[in-house]
Structure 1
């Protein structure tokens, strides 16, 4: 269930299910990165989509303090966590399997950003093969009001009202100062997740699922990211569910959500197999 440093869950499907769906090929490892305040029981519902298709799944959610305090202040704790999560692939001897990401909200996207950077720059991880990523309700950029809604939801209903509003006021001031007023300077020290991934998106295919009714992540932020990724020549798809609240797409549209995720995974796996075949033919010739 985890080691001394990070609290994760990994699930291996039954061998007969894997064989039925992947027919001798290596099954994908799907890494699910939860939203801030997400419980593992919530991620389990999503991982079951992939487990039922014979995929290995790894579930992890970054702590609230890391997402809402360390990251805005420029302490890159999430980069260390990203390294540990990628090391898990070697620990469980699945480093040769195709990797697929499923990311939720800014909390998951911040961690995904560092994993993508390590995959691109770290020698040890250079041989890992990522086939694609699904991004759910993310990313958002410099949205103080949305961030306040996110932290309020993450803290839950049982927190003292006075403490809640004190924390919200403190967080609002901090974010507004560091990520809006001073960002033109601080970005040279610590670029935020949105700008970093907009400037240098990973090369693998990406599917963005979002909603215009989301009151935490603005739909135009997602749409601008999709456009930026597409302009970099990366394959990118998106779908607007229209009426769902933040990270509620699967809850409101379970069948369509699952179908889109699985169809995209299948397409990514097919593309990866085609690329490998072309590489083998090129070497042979």
Structure 2
């Protein structure tokens, strides 16, 4: 069972809340993919946005070593994690519900990349109905300085200064060589998350929340990503919070952030209902 292998949390809303918000339709399942080093107590604050909306929520954050080491060296450990996360939907028999993603920073986006691959290529998941993805402070590409800032913040104050500098130096050299200098060659073995999703983006709507004050992910990377999706016909929108730090938009603008999350989810559900109505209308009378 998938729940024996990865550390996640799932919350089901009470029936009354779901009925009040979704009026007889299946409530969405929101999968929240945390940023590197994210603690569940922080991610739970985001999931409450959707629990109060009558949604099922699944919270998961990939381990630090997987995000900063495995991915940097081209080891696709997150691919198996993506498979286990999607299997959770079947474990709890919610695979027929609308699926919505809320993704944080590159740590969450790396995992989202593999989930999207499975949804594209694996017949087991072909019947899953994904309605949208909200992306917070991501994706970024080839930003060694931003990656170092993220790792430094993630390591925290408990680690000794010498060990901190050694780890940061090793990480910087590795990322610079594999993801910048040698990337024209290594991309044929392991393409980075930014390029992979841009080249074959999922068809469902995306909404990117970012800030030009972000010191980890360049806002220009996000703008390029948004424009690429538009050019490929993917419904996508974005919003710049201007002054909030990396993954700090909800903390600085709680009401505005929660409203944007809920509004986008509701819009995705309305699109789903509209598409289903069109399909029924195209079915000939028997």
TM-score (norm 2): 0.98
Q: Does 1:96 align with 2:99?
A: no
Q: Which residue of 1 aligns with 2:247?
A: 247
CA RMSD in angstroms, aligned pairs only:
0.8
- DSSP-derived class of the 1:106 partner: helix
> In the TM superposition, what is the alpha-carbon distance from 1:223 to its structure 2 partner?
0.4
Q: Which residue of 2 aligns with 1:87?
A: 87
CA distance in 2, matches of 1:61, 1:228: 27
> In the TM superposition, what is the alpha-carbon distance from 1:280 to its structure 2 partner?
1.6
Structure 2 gaps of 5+ residues are none
> In the TM superposition, what is the alpha-carbon distance from 1:131 to its structure 2 partner?
0.3
CA distance in 1, matches of 2:21, 2:4: 34
CA distance in 1, matches of 2:32, 2:75: 23
Q: Which residue of 2 aligns with 1:63?
A: 63
> In the TM superposition, what is the alpha-carbon distance from 1:277 to its structure 2 partner?
1.1
CA distance in 1, matches of 2:148, 2:284: 57
- DSSP-derived class of the 2:74 partner: coil
Q: Which residue of 2 aligns with 1:217?
A: 217
Q: Which residue of 2 aligns with 1:42?
A: 42
Q: Which residue of 1 aligns with 2:226?
A: 226
- Contact between 2:138 and 2:210, CA under 8 Å: does it hold in 1? yes
> In the TM superposition, what is the alpha-carbon distance from 1:154 to its structure 2 partner?
0.8
5 Å-filtered alignment, 1:176-187, equals 176-187=176-187
- Contact between 2:30 and 2:50, CA under 8 Å: does it hold in 1? yes
- Contact between 2:3 and 2:88, CA under 8 Å: does it hold in 1? no
> In the TM superposition, what is the alpha-carbon distance from 1:5 to its structure 2 partner?
1.1
CA distance in 1, matches of 2:129, 2:282: 19
> In the TM superposition, what is the alpha-carbon distance from 1:283 to its structure 2 partner?
2.1
CA distance in 2, matches of 1:157, 1:103: 26
CA distance in 2, matches of 1:273, 1:115: 24
Structure 1 gaps of 5+ residues are none
> In the TM superposition, what is the alpha-carbon distance from 1:166 to its structure 2 partner?
0.2
> In the TM superposition, what is the alpha-carbon distance from 1:194 to its structure 2 partner?
0.2
- DSSP-derived class of the 1:54 partner: coil
CA distance in 2, matches of 1:225, 1:259: 23
- DSSP-derived class of the 1:157 partner: coil
CA distance in 2, matches of 1:123, 1:165: 45
> In the TM superposition, what is the alpha-carbon distance from 1:110 to its structure 2 partner?
0.1
Q: Which residue of 2 aligns with 1:201?
A: 201
CA distance in 2, matches of 1:97, 1:4: 23
- DSSP-derived class of the 1:3 partner: helix
Deviation sequence 1:132-169 (CA, Å, 0-9, x none) = 01000000100000000000111111111000000000
- DSSP-derived class of the 1:275 partner: helix
CA distance in 1, matches of 2:155, 2:58: 24
- Contact between 2:30 and 2:56, CA under 8 Å: does it hold in 1? yes
Deviation sequence 1:215-245 (CA, Å, 0-9, x none) = 0000000000000001000110000000011
Deviation sequence 1:235-266 (CA, Å, 0-9, x none) = 10000000011000000000000001100100
Q: Does 1:75 align with 2:75?
A: yes
